[in-house]
Structure formats: structure tokens, C-alpha cells
Amino acid sequence: MTNAQPLGTKRKRAPSKRALETKARVFDAAEKIFAISGYDGATIRDIAAEADEPVGTIHHHGGGKNALFHQTVARRADALSRARLAALEQAKTAGTPPLEAVIGAFMRPFFDLLAEDPAWRDYARLVAFVSADDRWRDISAECFDQTAGIFLAELQKLLPLASRQHVAEGFAFSVAAMIALLTSRERIGALGAGSSTEDAQIDHLIKFCAAGMVV
């Protein structure tokens, strides 16, 4: 005996491949335009032009500008969080990890994802906008705070003499430094007398941030 579908309800049809491709194109375009122009400078019309779609298609998949920005930030947040938590678990397999290993577990996955897909650089710029503007506190709380709290707890264990406020400040400063390296490596090269590999710069970043957290 099979369960009958309730009267008056309609079975939702799964999105077609074409619809999924269009949606992905809309959010790729939104990510790029928001990264270039910020929330205030971006327009739905700019995003439509970048996606090569009508304005109505942008509204259909993303809603209004505020909802589209929110969804664009949220789109990659789960993948980043999973990568970070997996790296943290890996760092803890041999026992209590050192401070640099915990910071590295938070930072390195972002660079790894960027190496696989250059669009993550645009995403890093979105994270920078969200982190710096109180208007997006709800987005930060939804997309990033749970994972950040897990790392803060691990850092607190390794820094028992530091207050929660000291660790939180050091963590926030470290996130800002990470975003700077993710989005402006060319500027570092211009300021420096020579050049260094990305791995060397990431190692330097982690050591720099770890030293700044120690009481």
C-alpha cells in the first residue's frame, strides 16, 4: 500500500539542469560585482549584465539586493566551515595541537580553496565587507560565528593566562590579516624588495598571528 499524496498539494519538481546552471551563473556574477563594487556600489542591473541574464532572472533566483547579498555570502560559507573543522580535527589527531597548528587549521583551508578556484578571492573580499560593517552582523553570526567559536575555544585552551577578550581580539586581528593576504598579495610584492612564495607568506602570516596572541 502506498501513501497517497494529500489533496490540494502539488509535488515540487526538481530544478532542471538549465535552471541550476542559470542560478549558479547569477550567484557567480553577484559575487564578482559585490566584490568589485561593495554592497552600496553594486546594482542588480550590473549583476544582470555580468551574468548575461535579464534583470528579472536575478530577482527570480536571488530576490532583492539585500537577499541576494546575503545568499551570495552564505553560498560558500558551509564549504569553508567544513574544510576548517576537518583541518582542526586533523591537527588534533596527535593530541593537543600547538597554537600555530590551530591558527593554521583556520587559515590554510581558505588558501587551499582559492588555489582550486580563483573565485574564492572575490569571496574573501565579501568576507572583508561583512566583517567590517555592522549592517551585516546577522550574516556574520549565521555564516561564520559558530565555527569561529569552536576555534576560539581551542585557542583559549592553549592560552590559559589570556582573557577571553584578549583571545577574541587576537582572533579578529588575525582574520583581518588573513583577508589582507588573500586579497592583496600584489600589494605586498610591491612594498617588498623581492618576492616570496605563497606558502612562505602563509607560514609568515600564521607565525605573526600566533605571536600576537601570546600574553
Contact 69, 48 (CB under 8 A): no
The fraction of the chain above a pLDDT of 70, given in percent, is: 89
Q: What is the pLDDT of residue 137?
A: 94
Query: Which are the contacts of 196, defined by CB distance < 8 A and separation ≥ 6?
Result: 204
Are residues 32 and 127 both part of a single domain? Answer: no
The 10s digit of each residue's pLDDT in 125-181 is 999 999 989 999 999 999 999 999 999 999 999 999 999 999 999 999 999 999 999
Contact 123, 76 (CB under 8 A): yes
The pTM score is 0.87
Considering its fold, how many domains does the chain have in total? 2
Residue 103: pLDDT over 80: yes
Number of H helices, E strands in the chain: 11, 0
Are residues 124 and 37 both part of a single domain? Answer: no
Are residues 130 and 169 both part of a single domain? Answer: yes
Are residues 117 and 20 both part of a single domain? Answer: no
Query: Which are the contacts of 40, defined by CB distance < 8 A and separation ≥ 6?
Result: none
Helices (H), 65-197: 65-91, 99-116, 119-132, 137-140, 146-158, 164-183, 185-191
